Amino acid sequence: MMLPKVPAGRSKTKRQTAGFLGLNLSEGASEGELRETKNLSARKFPALTTRLPREELSGYSSPSALYAWNGLVAVDGTSLKIDGETVATVTPGEKQFAVVNTKLCIFPDKVYLDLTNNKLVRLNAQISSKTGTTSTFTETTLTMTPDGGVPATYEYDWGIGDQSFSIYVYTGAVWTNGWTLTGGREWYMSDKEHPPVVGNILMLRNTTVGGTYILNAQTWDWGYNHIRTPYGSNNSIGYYAVVNSVTFGKGDYENYPQANISVTIVDAKAPDGSFTSLFSVGDKVNVSNRCTQKAIVSMTSNSLTFAAGTFTAGNTSSQITVSRPIPDLDYVCESKNRLWGVCKANNIIYASALGKPTRFYDYDGTSLDSYAVAVGSEGEFTAICKYDRSVLCFKENTLHRVYGDYPAEYSATERPLFGVKEGAAGTLTNIGSVLYYLGRDGVYAFSGNTPTLISGAFGEKRFSRGYAGAAGDILYMSLKDIAGRWGLYTFDTRKGIWLKEDDTFALSFATVDGKLHFIKGHEAYTYTVDGSTVAEVVTVPEGGDEVYLCDSSASIEAVEWEAELTPFMEGTLRSKSPSKLLLRCELAAGAWIMAEISCDGEPWRQIFTSANRTEPTLIIPIAPRRCDAYRLRLKGQRECVIRAIEREFRVNSERR
């Protein structure tokens, strides 16, 4: 009997080669996307590869802030460093920087570093009259004795018995909870040709023997222990000596001269006693109980002259204080050679006078004036930055944008939109005229109009704070999720791919000559030390541990990496019988790779390792058992490139 011929059906075997996409934690993840990643990079997209090594930079012990300006600016403990060299002393902790003219402004310290001479100066200046003195007022002029600390001048004679005796001579000394010295040179006291000159600075050693100031000077350690740095005991006092004159005579030792040095002892913690060192002509100052925001017309070291009718003539023995205040700015930036800032307390946007970050109250009706505008929107300011030809002042749900080139032209607009999240001001990063930042619901990209959420790949994952930086087209973001876990993520702005590098808390970023640097930080924590009588609780404040350079060719870091792919469902709800899975990968010298699989939620099981394999290119065969869905996890060390995965499977009938 002839049976009817059955038409040939379509093959139930399917093959698919997949490239790799980025991290996707949402429910809508597609094949080729990743559920977990560690130390991966999209630089060889669509292949999967490891990130480049990092290099830990030497010379930093407690870094807390980075900034890029003609090199790497860093706060390391109390030291302000430029390319590793200490130039000034500041308070420890996080900082905001902005450069106006030649002044590197540092907040919240309210100081600036003069980039022409590395001198640290306060943005807000204040000095009072010396207690017990009389101040004199005319209608235009205040004359007073400023409190300059130690008014002491001494002369000392040293008979030099050995031509190797020396002392270190400096051209500058600044005290801010420690010394910052400049222009140091060693002077041998027998060298009559190159003695210290008038105005040079000599350091002092503290002593409790005899008269405080005289013994400080008399006990310089000028013998074989050369004074290369300030004495530790002197750091708690802050005195130094300014040279008035140096002469030589015949000493007690034959053939050796005697150095006669006249010095003035100065207290570096106090103002130096000079109006001219603190203020400039044109500054708007306050004189206690006399006037507010009056411009200085002229001045000497102990007198200030203002416009006619400023004062009532007379004398007073009460202490007089002269100050040049600046607003309490919570966030700052520079735009068009002005220092801009916002104040949470009074809801005001401020801009300094042109090129003068010390002056915020110049309202003379010129293009050089300062500027201020109060806003009425709800909430506190969360960040500020310059963008295009405007200044953006963010709140969590509002953007205030100021346009214009000078005060009379400024126009402030207000828009409700998704702004910068509180605690995320450090995420503002500009790449190719697109501004990226962390908002309340995720990471946004702002191109001048409406921000676009670009972090949908994180699904329901939310973040509470963060910091960011950029290297080329790659956005680096260190984000803390609401569970308290930190992660360092990258976003390829051209390919739209998110990846996670590791769990690093990056406290601050800076890009110098195209190279990204960051501080590996730690959050505040406490621990208990068992004492002899009672346990002591020690609190470690938030700060940094190391400074790293990303993508360093000099690094020998053996990068450990990991990738877990989204479950393979084969695009159908019917049961499948996977028959073969092939991976093509390329390994650098000394690298290895391992593959693990989990079928239908079972524990991970190792199915491949490249141990004892030496070939640079591997084709890895994987044969999962019959299941509805399986997950694949790859691990390795050192550079590896996974080009693609080819899968072959057969769709089963509806009945198994």
- Any domain includes 176: yes
If you average pLDDT over residues 628-644, what whole number do you get? 90
Query: Given a cut of 80, is residue 165 above it in pLDDT?
Result: no
User: Do the beta carbons of residue 73 and residue 80 sit within 8 Å?
Assistant: yes
Q: What residue numbers bound the domain in which 600 lies? A: 13-51+560-651
Give the model confidence (pLDDT) of 83-103 as tens digits. Answer: 999 998 898 999 999 999 999
User: What is the amino acid identity at position 500?
Assistant: K
Q: Do 191 and 312 have their domain in common? A: no
Helix, strand or coil for residue 83? coil
Residue 251 placed within a domain = yes
Same domain, residue pair 341 and 447: yes
- 3-class secondary structure, 234: helix
Q: Which of 206, 164, 208, 167 is nearest to 184 (CA)?
A: 167
| Residues 156 and 177 reside in one and the same domain | yes
Q: If pLDDT is split at 50, 70 and 90, which confidence band does 161 have? A: very low
179-192 average pLDDT score: 74
How far CA 128 is from CA of 143, 151, 323, 324, in Å, comes to 12, 15, 9, 12
User: Does a structural domain hold residue 115?
Assistant: no
Given a cut of 70, whether residue 379 has pLDDT beyond it is yes
In the prediction, which pLDDT does 85 show?
93
Do 263 and 286 share a structural domain? no
Same domain as 356, residue 257: no
How far apart CA 473 and CA 398 sit, in angstroms, is: 27
* pLDDT higher than 80, residue 11: no
Domain boundary among 225, 241, 267: 267
| Residue 234 and residue 311 share a domain | no
167 with 236, same domain? yes
pLDDT tens for 218-243 read 334 433 333 333 333 344 556 677 77
Identify the domain boundary among 460, 493, 522: 522
User: What's the confidence (pLDDT) of residue 624?
Assistant: 80
Res. 262: pLDDT tops 90: no
Task: Give pLDDT tens digits for 278-310.
Answer: 899 999 999 998 999 999 999 987 899 999 999
The Cα 383–Cα 401 span in angstroms is 12
Q: How confident is the model at residue 213 (pLDDT cuts 50, 70, 90)?
A: very low
Q: Taking Cα atoms as reference points, which of 326, 352, 319 lies closest to residue 338?
A: 352
* Residues 486 and 376 both lie in one domain: yes
pLDDT at 13: 58
Find where tokens 């930079």 sit.
Answer: 57
Tell me how many degrees the CA angle 45-49-55 measures, rounded to the nearest 5: 120
Tell me the pTM: 0.79
Asked, for residue 554, whether it belongs to a domain, the answer is no
Measured distance CA(458)–CA(423) in Å, rounded: 20
User: In this predicted structure, what is the pLDDT of residue 276?
Assistant: 81
Residues 174 and 136 in one domain: no
Residues 325-346 as b or e (16 or more Cβ within 10 Å = b): bbbbbbbbbbbeebbbbbbeee
pLDDT value of position 621? 86
pLDDT at 623: 81
Of the chain, the end-to-end C-alpha distance in Å amounts to 33
Beta bridge partners of 437: 444
Cα angle: 113, vertex 115, 118; to 5 degrees: 65
Q: Are residues 484 and 414 in the same domain?
A: yes
Q: Examine the domain organization and report whether 389 and 486 are in the same domain.
A: yes
pLDDT at position 99 is 98
The pLDDT tens digits for 328-338 are 999 999 999 99
Number of domains, the chain: 4
- Weakest-pLDDT range from 254-268, 447-461, 613-627: 254-268
What are the E-state strand segments in 196-326? 201-203, 239-250, 257-267, 284-287, 291-295, 298-299, 303-305, 314-316, 321-324
Q: Is beta strand 239-250 parallel, antiparallel or unpaired with respect to 152-159?
A: unpaired
Element (H, E) at 14: strand 13-18
Average pLDDT of span 488-503:
96
Q: Tell whether the model's pLDDT for residue 74 goes beyond 60.
A: yes
Q: Which class for 64: exposed (0-12), middle (13-18), buried (19 or more C-beta within 10 A)?
A: buried
Give me the sign of the Cα torsion angle 156, 160, 163, 165. negative
- Based on the domain organization, do 310 and 446 belong to the same domain? no
* CA 203 to chain centroid: 32
- What is the pLDDT at residue 579? 61
Q: Tell me: pLDDT of 151 over 70.
A: no
Mean pLDDT of all residues in the chain? 84
Residue 625 included in any domain? yes
Which of the pair, 215 or 326, is modelled with greater confidence? Answer: 326
Q: Can you tell me the distance from the alpha carbon of 484 to that of 624, in angstroms, rounded to the nearest whole number?
A: 37
CATH code of the domain covering residue 391 = 2.130.10.10
Give the Cα separation of 22 and 26 in Å (integer): 12
pLDDT at position 8 over 60: no
pLDDT cut 90: percent of the chain above it? 55
Q: What is the DSSP letter of 62?
A: S
Q: Which two tokens stand for residue 494?
A: 């051209």
Q: Which of 267, 282, 301 is at the close of a domain?
A: 267
Assign 361 to helix, strand or coil: coil
pLDDT at residue 515 in the model: 96
Q: Residue 580 — very low, low, confident or very high, per pLDDT cuts 50/70/90?
A: confident
Q: By 3-state DSSP, what share of the chain in percent is helix, strand and coil, each rounded to 5?
A: 5, 50, 45
